Amino acid sequence: MDPLLSYQGIELTLVELCLWAALLLLGILITLLLARRGAKNPVLEQQLTDMAQQQAALQGRLAQFADDSAQRETLFRESLDTRLSKVSETVGRSIVETQERNSQNLKQLHERLALIDRAQKNIETLSGEVSGLQSLLSNKQSRGAFGEKQMQDLIENYLPPNAYSFQHTLSNGKRVDALIHMPNDQGDVAIDSKFPMEAWRRLTDADNTDGSVQAGRDFARDMLVHIKAVAEKYLIFGETHDIALLFLPSEAVYAELHANFPLVVEQGFAQKVMIVSPTTFMATLHTMRAVMKDAAMREQAHIIQREVGMMAKDVTLLDDRVAKLQSHFNQTGEDIRKIRISTEKITKRADKIESLDVAGSEADSASNVTEFVKPSLKDNRS
């Protein structure tokens, strides 16, 4: 129970305050009765004595109750402080963990925002490039220059410089975009770049609509016009190759043509005009380069044959010299063997001389020397 009154460190609850007020009123009442009667009354005195004893007992109980209340309050405060400390510790730890999680989440958020920012910049750059490409493709002359540049880049990457020429003027006065020089009088392959963007765009925009049939007819008509122009301008007997190439710089246009317009492709084959895309044009250039390399190898075949013959003579001469060197080595080995025999004989004779007994007479010594010298002379003569 919360204290109702606090004075100089003493706190009283409502119950204690009521008890103290009752005792005070009882004491005042007894005092008034004694003063009023002014005479001694044994019964009254006994009652007053009993009341005083009861008052003292009540005061003792109140004091004990106050002590118990103080102890309970102390225990309650200690328990409350302990719980508050635990709660504070838990709350603090939770706040720290929350801050760490928030910090980590903010870091990840910043990283993701940075990625989004870079992606946004890439998207803006790509959007600008797409807009530039769209503006480029919207102009017919720019679109033609784009397709021609793409074709020239492919040719320069896959063929040697002396194997092609750009913007070459033929004998009929027509200028071809590219001319690839084939070996062995096969004729030069003429290549013309075309980009039927408007017809193809009308075809794709009219997909599955009423105008799709007419758009398809317009696209086929434009392609047939290009095929006929290539066949008439760039197929010259005795000057160019039997087949000319029509380069389409778009894989989508090439796929649409072969998927839905097979008659146009067949008409191109019939007029000896082969339609190629960037991918198929790369494969065609690989084949042309292989043909050029094979022709160059054949032109140099006699040189290779002569060099091989000279190399065979050099190998024969080398074999003769090795045989002579081997004979010299064999003779040197024989000489070394004979020298070793002589050195072994000299060593043996030196050992015999060292083993002579020098304590004998001079005659014996001389005879012994003579005996050893004579055989050595015989050996030398032999």
pTM more than 0.75:
no
Q: How far apart are CA 366 and CA 130, in angstroms?
A: 122
CB 2, CB 15: distance < 8 Å:
no
Q: Indicate if 101 and 208 belong to the same structural domain.
A: no
Domain endpoint, select from 58, 91, 108: 108
The one-character DSSP state at 39 is: S
- The per-residue DSSP string of 264-279 comes to HHHHHHHTTEEEE-HH
Separation in Å, CA 211 to CA 45, 188, 205, 224? 130, 42, 9, 20
| pLDDT by 10s per residue, the chain, length 382 | 555 545 445 555 666 667 767 776 776 676 666 665 554 566 766 766 777 777 777 777 777 777 777 788 888 888 888 888 888 888 888 888 888 888 888 888 888 888 888 888 788 777 655 554 555 455 566 666 778 888 888 888 888 888 888 888 888 888 888 888 888 777 888 998 887 777 777 777 766 666 777 888 888 888 898 899 989 888 888 888 888 999 988 888 888 888 888 898 898 889 999 998 888 988 888 888 888 888 877 777 777 777 888 888 888 888 888 888 888 888 888 888 888 888 888 888 888 887 765 444 444 544 554 444 444 444 444 4
Q: Indicate if 241 and 337 belong to the same structural domain.
A: no
pLDDT value at position 359? Answer: 44
- Residue 220 within a domain: yes
- Residue 133 within a domain: no
Q: Indicate if 260 and 150 belong to the same structural domain.
A: yes
pLDDT value at position 42? Answer: 67
**Edge-to-edge strands, sheet with 175-180:** 164-169, 175-180, 189-193, 244-247, 273-276
* Both structure tokens of 288: 């042309």
pLDDT value at position 361? Answer: 46
- Residue 241 within a domain: yes
Question: Which neighbouring-strand residues pair with 164?
Answer: 180
Tens of pLDDT, residue by residue over 197-256, are 777 777 777 666 667 778 888 888 888 988 999 898 888 888 888 889 999 888 888 888
pLDDT value at position 84? Answer: 85
CB 175, CB 191: distance < 8 Å:
no
* Both structure tokens of 280: 């198929």
Measure the N-to-C terminal CA separation of the chain; round to a whole number of Å: 146
Amino acid (one-letter) located at 42: P
Amino acid (one-letter) located at 160: P
Residue (of 54, 64, 80, 86) closest to 16 by Cα position: 64
Rg from Cα positions in the chain: 63
- Reported for 17-23, long-range contacts at CB under 8 A and 24+ positions apart, including other chains, are 19/58, 19/62, 20/62, 23/55, 23/58, 23/59
Count of the separate structural domains present in the chain = 3
Q: Indicate if 152 and 288 belong to the same structural domain.
A: yes
- Residue 158 within a domain: yes
- Residue 304 within a domain: no
Domain extent, residue 71, equals 5-108
- Residue 125 within a domain: no
Q: Indicate if 218 and 91 belong to the same structural domain.
A: no
Question: What CATH number corresponds to the domain at position 172?
Answer: 3.40.1350
- Residue 213 within a domain: yes
Amino acid (one-letter) located at 85: S
Separation in Å, CA 131 to CA 60, 134, 138, 320? 101, 5, 10, 77
pLDDT value at position 356? Answer: 67
CB 13, CB 1: distance < 8 Å:
yes
Domain endpoint, select from 271, 299, 327: 299
pLDDT value at position 66? Answer: 75
Q: Indicate if 233 and 345 belong to the same structural domain.
A: no
Domain endpoint, select from 243, 275, 299: 299
pLDDT value at position 16? Answer: 65
Q: Indicate if 160 and 256 belong to the same structural domain.
A: yes
Q: Indicate if 80 and 200 belong to the same structural domain.
A: no
Q: Indicate if 253 and 188 belong to the same structural domain.
A: yes
pLDDT value at position 142? Answer: 65
- The per-residue DSSP string of 346-367 comes to HHHHHHHHHTS-TTS-HHHHHH
Q: Indicate if 291 and 317 belong to the same structural domain.
A: no
Q: Indicate if 161 and 274 belong to the same structural domain.
A: yes
Residue (of 214, 176, 222, 178) closest to 196 by Cα position: 222
Residue (of 267, 189, 264) closest to 234 by Cα position: 189
pLDDT value at position 375? Answer: 47
Q: Indicate if 217 and 340 belong to the same structural domain.
A: no
- Residue 132 within a domain: no
